[in-house]
Amino acid sequence: MPKKIVSFQGLEGAYSDLVCRELFRDYRTLPCETFQEALEAVDIGNAKFAIIPVENNIAGRVADMHFLLENLKLKIIAEHYYKIEHHLMAKPGTTLKNIKQVFSHTHALSQCKKNIKKLKLIPINHMDTAGAAKYVKENKDKKISAIASKLASKIYNLKILKKNFEDSKENVTRFLVFSKTNIKIDQGQRIITSIVFNTKNSPASLYNALGGFAENSINLTRLESFFVNKDFKQFSFIIDVESHPDSKSFKNALNILKKFSTKVKILGYYHASSFRK
């Protein structure tokens, strides 16, 4: 029987931890130092699922994940969009007037830039939001604060000085759920299939490779590129398409994609999130 454990990158109280607890309420969460370790935990059987953030509507895509996806052994089985709510926190007894510095992940700091400036705080980068909260808890300096989740404030016993400290209230991160095996989904539902592929090094290769989806009336909802070697001569692409991989139209489009590519890999298929509506 697979362990009822879900892995994530970061410390307890990270936003990924919060999403794990929300999606898998009766599972234990497993903190990991890196995205790769979180995925490997599933591969070697230490966790049943891994939850990884892949993109944010303000900060853009999450670094390093593209390279991991290209060589991934696991399957994507679900997506989840989570509204990020940053909170400014400090040691109990500390007030807004006391604090001079704020620690957090670089993305969190940039997403709270205006509010940090209003309070005349000095922003300092930290490895992650939960780590910043832990650092404030363990540090004797009462002039420091952290930007992190509500869960982090509870875990590290910090007082929230300002709720919803983010500059934009439309701050959403997309997470993917990974498993060792695909889940079975009927074709009569709205399905997203994720694919990674390398195009041939020839004129119009990307145009021709993707042409099959247009010809078969399949909508692309995501297209991203990244280099796969150091001399910038080879591109990999990640696409999300609205189609079940077993449908006739998808198979037709996939045959065309393969014709103009050196490598094609289906990363997984899953229900389209209601957030897409």
Please give the sequence-ordered ranges of beta strands (E in DSSP) within 106-248, or none if there are none.
Answer: 122-125, 144-148, 159-162, 172-179, 191-199, 220-227, 235-242
Burial label for 39, CB within 10 Å (0-12, 13-18, 19+), is buried
Q: Are residues 61 and 94 in the same domain?
A: no
Asked if residues 87 and 163 have their Cβ atoms less than 8 Å apart, the reply is: yes
Domain boundary among 122, 153, 179: 179
To which residue do tokens 């997984």 refer? 268
The letter for the amino acid at 139 is: N
Is position 33 within any domain?
yes
Q: Are residues 40 and 75 in the same domain?
A: yes
Q: Are residues 249 and 206 in the same domain?
A: yes
pLDDT at 166: 95
CA distance 218 to 250: 8
Asked if residues 148 and 86 have their Cβ atoms less than 8 Å apart, the reply is: yes
CATH of the domain at 231: 3.30.70.260
Is position 200 within any domain?
yes
Parallel, antiparallel or unpaired: strands 87-90 and 49-56? unpaired
pLDDT at 103: 98
Q: Are residues 36 and 79 in the same domain?
A: yes
Two structure tokens written together for 53: 């953030």
Domain boundary among 147, 179, 211: 179
Is position 126 within any domain?
yes
Contacts of 32 (CB under 8 A, 6+ apart): 7, 8, 9, 10, 38, 41
**By residue range, what is the domain housing residue 115?**
87-162
Domain boundary among 179, 212, 228: 179
pLDDT at 229: 60
Q: Are residues 92 and 78 in the same domain?
A: no
Is position 97 within any domain?
yes
Local confidence pLDDT in tens for the 277 residues of the chain: 557 999 999 999 999 999 999 999 999 999 999 999 999 999 999 999 999 999 888 777 776 677 787 778 899 999 999 999 999 999 999 999 999 999 999 989 999 999 999 999 999 999 899 999 999 999 999 999 999 999 999 999 999 999 999 998 888 999 999 999 998 998 888 999 999 999 888 889 899 999 999 999 999 999 988 776 655 566 789 999 999 999 999 999 999 999 999 999 999 999 999 998 7
Please give the sequence-ordered ranges of beta strands (E in DSSP) within 25-158, or none if there are none.
Answer: 28-32, 49-56, 60-61, 75-83, 87-90, 101-104, 122-125, 144-148
Two structure tokens written together for 204: 């119009």
CATH of the domain at 12: 3.40.190.10
Q: Residue 272: which of 103, 80, 83, 48 has the closest Cα?
A: 80
Asked if residues 202 and 235 have their Cβ atoms less than 8 Å apart, the reply is: no
Which residue numbers are catalytic?
Answer: 173, 175
Is position 219 within any domain?
yes
Is position 44 within any domain?
yes
Strand order, beta sheet including 87-90: 122-125, 101-104, 144-148, 87-90, 159-162
Two structure tokens written together for 240: 């999300």
Q: Are residues 196 and 251 in the same domain?
A: yes
Q: Are residues 40 and 77 in the same domain?
A: yes
The total number of structural domains that make up the chain: 3
Q: Are residues 95 and 75 in the same domain?
A: no
CA distance 264 to 277: 29
Q: Are residues 203 and 234 in the same domain?
A: yes
Is position 185 within any domain?
no
Q: Is the pTM of this model over 0.85?
A: yes
Is position 242 within any domain?
yes
